[in-house]
Amino acid sequence: MKLNIQNILIAGQYESAFQQYLLHLEKYHLRFQSIDMISEGDMEWADAYVGFAPSKAFHPSKVNWVHAFNAGVNNFLAIEGWKKSNTVLTRTVSDFGEKMSEYCLSYILKDLQHHKLFQSQQKDKFWSCETPAALKDQTITIFGTGETGKVIAKVLSSFGTTVYGVSSSGENKRYFKQVNTLETSKPLIEQSDYIISTLPLTQQTEKLFNEQIFSYLNHAYFINVGRGQGVDTNHLIKALDTGKVRHAVLDVFESEPLTKSSELWHREDVTITPHISALTDLDDAISCFCNTLEHIERDKTLSNQVDFSRGY
């Protein structure tokens, strides 16, 4: 069914930039509004809502199309009424896999090349040789074999790294030596030097990394670039204390910003970054939005449409 889109409400951080870049969309009526200033009247006017997050006046039944500037759409899905409204929800799809692969690779190499050790030795003016480990000798399991996980696997496997995958289907995919379901993932986890999570947040993945999963790790290095709610923080801390996890690189958290009272800030075996592993830049946001709008205009399949049954 072709969507009727004439009035587009653009909310949030990019109002002024969008005003500059979207002036060519003369056939549409665009309204730019700060998210905290969006009124019921704005929502009644709009056929489409575009932004990073829903406003207080937002409800899916009020528009035909919602486009999220970010890849994750949990803040939109938290509002009830999607399935009854028939509203289409799309998300920004960009080179997130490339960005996340660079992020993961940087921390893996930092670990293998003993950066922390050599920095400490330099500070103490101490000369002692420690042989770096090679990527080709590492085994890495990636949770989530979708587009992001696949790109990370491609990059890592190009160095000769053994890359396994864990997904809901267990379907084998290119760049992975083997893909298992969660239920059959224990043998993969047990032999892994590194565990990377790229999982979206769904009912099935919420706190998936719990005491049981962490118990399978054998002093492994854990990287989370998926969703913070996919990890039980208390169980992660316990796994760090027992040595099941030797270091955790966390770009996402159960609650963001991370509270100042969190124990994670003070741990030497935890690296914290403020959700920057795959930021949506202006060009990405505009390009994906315009491409999606063009597909809607031509009544073409939307590859970035959210499947409500899956949550992404």
Q: How far apart are CA 193 and CA 195, in angstroms?
A: 7
Determine the pLDDT at residue 261.
97
Residue of 156, 158, 178 lying closest to 167 (CA atoms): 178
| Band of residue 142 on the pLDDT scale cut at 50, 70, 90 | very high
Residue 275, pLDDT > 90, answer yes
How confident is the model over 9-35, as pLDDT tens digits?
999 866 677 777 776 778 899 999 999
How confident is the model over 245-265, as pLDDT tens digits?
999 999 999 999 999 999 999
Where do the DSSP E strands lie in 12-106? 29-33, 48-51, 65-68, 88-91
| Helix 96-112 vs helix 147-157: crossing angle, to nearest 10 | 40
Residue 224, pLDDT > 80, answer yes
How confident is the model over 53-86, as pLDDT tens digits?
999 999 999 999 999 998 889 999 999 999 888 8
How confident is the model over 117-138, as pLDDT tens digits?
999 999 999 999 999 999 999 9
Residue 186, token pair as written in the block: 């224990």
| DSSP-derived secondary structure letter, 123 | H
The dihedral through the CA atoms of 17, 274, 144, 173 has a sign that is: positive
**What's the pTM?**
0.89
Query: In CATH terms, are 7-94+280-297 and 96-272 the same topology?
Result: yes
From the options 3.40.50.720, 3.90.1170.40, 3.40.190.10, 3.30.70.20, give the CATH code of 7-94+280-297: 3.40.50.720
The dihedral through the CA atoms of 41, 47, 52, 57 has a sign that is: positive
Residue 84, token pair as written in the block: 């009854």
Q: How far apart are CA 222 and CA 232, in angstroms?
A: 13
Domain parsing of the chain, residue ranges: 7-94+280-297, 96-272
Contacts of 41 (CB under 8 A, 6+ apart): none
Give the distance from CA 133 to its chain's centroid.
Answer: 28
Question: CATH fold of 96-272, please?
Answer: Rossmann fold (3.40.50)
Return the residue matching tokens 């992404």: 312
Determine the pLDDT at residue 26.
82
Q: Determine what percent of the chain is predicted with pLDDT higher than 90.
A: 86
| Band of residue 1 on the pLDDT scale cut at 50, 70, 90 | low
- Asked whether 263 and 234 are in contact (CB, 8 A), the reply is no
The mean predicted confidence, pLDDT, of the chain is: 95
Determine the pLDDT at residue 14.
66
Determine the pLDDT at residue 94.
87
Residue 282, pLDDT > 90, answer no
